[in-house]
């Protein structure tokens, strides 16, 4: 009985100590996070944006930390949300180490496609939102045109299907979307247009496209068709 009493007393002391440490740590985190003299930026990928400057992010954080009305509620989540107001940042993670140093880990959005709009090529993310102030991005991207703003997830899936297919990724340079007529792919080889209507890129449809493109490439015969219509099952209709 005496042993049990001693055990529970020690357990109570230990639990109280842990709770005290957690409260202290939480308190310290909210206070120290506003001391931004010791802040370190790290990046998961390359910054390709002209508009992003570390100094501007630091100044944003300082403004919030100096706001007396917010100081009692400031935490890492609030500061992460503040950083994510930059439309070109995909993810922000903030960590405070035991020395009080704030570590900011940023991941930038990667361009997914380009859009021809008002005679200008702009970059889009994988939700087809505009990415501003891109300095340079070397990877080859699909160029979109037409009624892009009225499109849905089917256009995004179509772009992904092109990227994921080795032959299509090397030959397809653009996609035009018309909300009444559907999708028309444009080939880099022979400037061929491929009208697929509102279809997704099924294995059967990809096979028909690959067969025709490889036929053109092998025989170097670019005058055969200006457009191929693939709206109908098991058919390739040549349009001059």
pLDDT at 141: 93
Domain stop point among 53, 76, 108? 108
Domain hosting residue 85, numbered range: 33-108
d(CA 148, CA 165): 22
122 CB neighbour count, 10 Å cutoff: 16
* 178 assigned to some structural domain: yes
| Predicted TM-score (pTM) above 0.95 | no
pLDDT at 13: 57
CATH number, domain containing residue 95:
3.10.20.310
pLDDT digits (tens, 9 = 90+) for 57-95: 777 777 776 665 555 445 677 778 888 888 888 998 888
d(CA 29, CA 87): 27
CATH number, domain containing residue 149:
3.40.50
Point out the residues of the chain with pLDDT beneath 70: 1-37, 65-75, 100, 219-220
* 62 assigned to some structural domain: yes
d(CA 124, CA 114): 6
Of the candidates 95, 134, 91, the one whose C-alpha atom is nearest the C-alpha of residue 112 is: 134
- Number of domains comprising the chain: 2
Domain stop point among 91, 108, 125? 108
């Amino acid at each position: 009985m005496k042993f049990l009493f001693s055990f529970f007393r020690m357990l109570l002391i230990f639990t109280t100590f842990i709770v005290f440490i957690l409260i202290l740590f939480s308190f310290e985190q909210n206070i120290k996070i506003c001391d931004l003299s010791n802040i370190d930026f790290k990046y998961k990928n390359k910054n390709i944006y002209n508009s992003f400057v570390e100094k501007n992010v630091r100044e944003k954080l300082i403004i919030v930390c100096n706001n007396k009305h917010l100081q009692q509620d400031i935490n890492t989540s609030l500061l992460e949300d503040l950083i994510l107001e930059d439309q070109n940042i995909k993810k922000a993670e903030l960590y405070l180490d035991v020395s009080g140093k704030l570590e900011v880990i940023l991941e930038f959005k990667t361009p997914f496609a380009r859009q021809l709009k008002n005679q200008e090529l702009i970059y889009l993310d994988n939700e087809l939102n505009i990415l501003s102030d891109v300095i340079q991005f070397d990877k080859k991207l699909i160029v979109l045109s037409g009624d892009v703003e009225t499109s849905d997830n089917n256009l995004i899936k179509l772009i992904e299907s092109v990227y994921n297919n080795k032959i299509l990724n090397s030959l397809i340079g653009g996609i035009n979307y018309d909300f009444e007529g559907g999708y028309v792919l444009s080939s880099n080889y022979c400037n061929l247009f491929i009208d697929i209507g509102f279809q997704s890129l099924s294995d059967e449809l990809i096979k028909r496209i690959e067969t025709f493109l490889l036929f053109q490439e092998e025989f170097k015969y670019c005058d055969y068709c200006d457009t191929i219509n693939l709206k109908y099952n098991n058919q390739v209709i040549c349009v001059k």
